[in-house]
């Protein structure tokens, strides 16, 4: 990962942006999806500059099948984890996304397609927000192997927090979200490209939408 943190002096402004974004989740002004995109875009520009933003989107250093492989592994883990937890707790609604109910109230195909497009756009937005955050923490931690996993774990906690408006939060869900974020961070580390976690996240959400449609 050869991206350089160009503007350390902008770190306080970035922290304020993240705090403001977190506050706005329950009271979106411009729409949650657009807010996520703008926050991630601004954070990246402020810290890494336009050249750094472009560098993050460069071609991934991996075979074309790699994102699909990561997606399948993540999906298998999710299924196994949810099955075990649901059986152990006797609660089969622990991992329900609020969009499950929202989607059920849409009856016209254009409405469903518009909603699905927004949902898939949010997967890309979340990576644009999360990867610059974990990368910044990694650089501040001196680019060590331990520093990467510490930054990845801290970003995973923040990722879980960002979902408090779309899930009924519980400890099992938080653990699952943290693990999912750790998994999504790894493709970026391995391929040095933001495209990879975006593809994995997009595939994951697309399969979720197909499940709601069927």
For the stretch 153-190, pLDDT in tens is 999 999 999 888 777 789 999 999 999 999 999 999 99
In sequence order, what DSSP letters do the residues of the chain get, joined into one string? -------GGGHHHHHHHHHHHHHHTTS-SS-HHHHHHHHHHHHHHHHHHHHHHHHHTSPPSS-TTHHHHHHHHHHHHHHHHHHHHHHHHS-TTTT-BHHHHHHHT--SHHHHHHHHHHHHHHHHHHHHHHHHHHHHHHHHTTT-HHHHHHHHHHHHHHHHHHTTTTB---HHHHHHHHHHHHHHHHHHHHH--THHHHHHHHHHHHHHHHHHH-
* pLDDT at 132 exceeding the cut of 70: yes
- Tell me whether residue 44 is in a domain: yes
- Tell me whether residue 65 is in a domain: yes
Phi and psi at residue 96, to the nearest 5°: -70, 130
- Tell me whether residue 70 is in a domain: yes
- Tell me whether residue 148 is in a domain: yes
pLDDT tens readout for residues 28-59: 555 667 788 889 999 999 999 998 999 999 99
pLDDT at residue 31, as a whole number: 60
* pLDDT at 108 exceeding the cut of 60: yes
- Tell me whether residue 152 is in a domain: yes
pLDDT at residue 22, as a whole number: 85
- Tell me whether residue 153 is in a domain: yes
> Among 31-35, 105-109, 146-150, where is mean pLDDT lowest?
31-35
- Tell me whether residue 3 is in a domain: no
Distance CA 65, CA 58 (A): 17
Distance CA 54, CA 58 (A): 7
- Tell me whether residue 2 is in a domain: no
Its domain, for residue 142, covers 8-213
* pLDDT at 78 exceeding the cut of 80: yes
- How many structural domains does the chain have? 1
């Amino acid at each position: 990962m050869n991206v350089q943190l160009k503007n350390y002096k902008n770190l306080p402004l970035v922290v304020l942006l993240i705090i403001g974004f977190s506050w706005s989740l329950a009271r979106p002004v411009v729409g949650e999806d657009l807010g996520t995109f703008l926050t991630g875009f601004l954070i990246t520009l402020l810290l890494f500059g336009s050249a750094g933003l472009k560098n993050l989107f460069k071609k991934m250093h991996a075979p074309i099948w790699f994102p699909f492989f990561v997606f399948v592994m993540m999906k298998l883990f999710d299924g196994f984890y949810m099955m075990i937890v649901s059986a152990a707790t006797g609660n089969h609604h622990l991992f329900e996304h609020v969009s499950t109910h929202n989607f059920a109230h849409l009856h016209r195909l254009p409405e469903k397609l518009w909603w699905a497009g927004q949902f898939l756009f949010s997967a890309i937005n979340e990576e644009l927000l999360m990867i610059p955050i974990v990368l910044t923490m990694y650089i501040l931690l001196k680019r060590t192997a331990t520093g990467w996993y510490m930054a990845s774990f801290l970003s995973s906690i923040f990722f879980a927090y960002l979902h408090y408006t779309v899930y009924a939060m519980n400890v099992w869900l938080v653990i699952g979200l943290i693990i999912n974020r750790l998994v999504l961070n790894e493709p970026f580390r391995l391929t040095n490209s933001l495209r990879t976690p975006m593809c994995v996240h997009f595939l994951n959400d697309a399969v979720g939408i197909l499940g709601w449609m069927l």
